Amino acid sequence: MPTPHNTAKPGEIAKTILLPGDPLRARTLAETYLKDPVQFNSVRNMYGYTGTYNGKRISVMGTGMGMPSIGIYTYELIHEYGVKNLIRIGSCGAINRKVRIGDIIIAQGACTDSNYAYQYGLHGTYSAIASFDLLRKAILSVEKHGFPYAVGNVFSTDIFYKEKPLWRDWAKMGCLGVEMETYALYCNAVRAAYASEGADSDAKSLVNPHADVKALGIFTVSDSMVTGETTTPEERQNKFTNMMEVALDVASKL
């Protein structure tokens, strides 16, 4: 069913979707890489398209900036449209000296200063991690292509303009880059996949239609908090293609 944020009809969105934050990047990816792309959404200019890549049906859709935004779109994609594989493709800032401009970061896990997981009623701090299957496929792909990359934690923050910079503290805990969405994506995917776990004994026989939902975040380093380096628009356009090719490679194998 269409939602207040997505006018797609049942069946118009593929089981695997790529999720850039920028809707214009979604359009560019669809027009550049997908065969016969068909637009399924334009509500709030959050463009979404479905086409094929290497014979595999794949969708791409923008998610906007921040966890509240990606939280809405990915929840609906999972629960209203039956999407199974959600791959975020975005930019991030490096907070580790070993990660350079243009490198790819594959987010094994996401730390956060957000209160997103509060909704689950957990008495502790939740560690949000990627699907190992998607993570493994992404590593194999990036190594096959020979692109420079790193695998580890990213820091998903709620605040872009901070009163006091916090990235140094997260860097001391091994985080590689800072971005604003992945923690919510991983929470939504895992919560859907494990919804039937821990249920009352009389509910254990219930079938969970989202048990095979998977998520992964892949990023291109667009600037460095450590060195102060940044990229030009032209460099972003050229460098980001590596990330897109890895994501499409993974998506085509699902």
pLDDT of the chain, 254 residues: tens digit per residue: 789 999 999 999 999 999 999 999 999 999 999 999 999 999 999 999 999 999 999 999 999 999 999 999 999 999 999 999 999 999 999 999 999 999 999 999 999 999 999 999 999 999 999 999 999 999 999 999 999 999 999 999 999 999 998 899 999 999 999 999 999 999 999 999 999 887 665 555 578 999 999 999 999 999 999 999 998 877 766 668 999 999 999 999 99
- Give the global pTM: 0.96
pLDDT at residue 201 in the model: 56
> What domains can be seen in the chain, in order of their start residue?
16-198+209-251 (3.40.50.1580)
Does 22 participate in catalysis according to the annotation?
Answer: no
What pLDDT, on the 0 to 100 scale, is given for residue 239?
Answer: 66
Tell me, what's the pLDDT at 197?
86
**Residue 174: count of CB within 10 angstroms of its CB:** 12
For residue 226, the model assigns a pLDDT of 95
Alpha-carbon distances, residue 210 vs 155, 195, 226 (angstroms) = 26, 8, 40
Question: Which H or E element spans position 84?
Answer: none
Cα–Cα distance measured from residue 45 to residue 238, given in angstroms and rounded to the nearest whole number: 24
Single-letter amino acid, residue 125? T
Q: For residue 237, what is the enclosing H or E element?
A: helix 233-251
Q: For position 122, what pLDDT does the model report? A: 97
**Do the Cβ atoms of 48 and 59 come closer than 8 Å?**
yes
What pLDDT is stored for residue 199 in this prediction? 66
Give the active site residue among 103, 113, 223, 249. Answer: 223
CA 24 – CA 249 distance, rounded (Å)? 21
The confidence score (pLDDT) of residue 233 equals 73
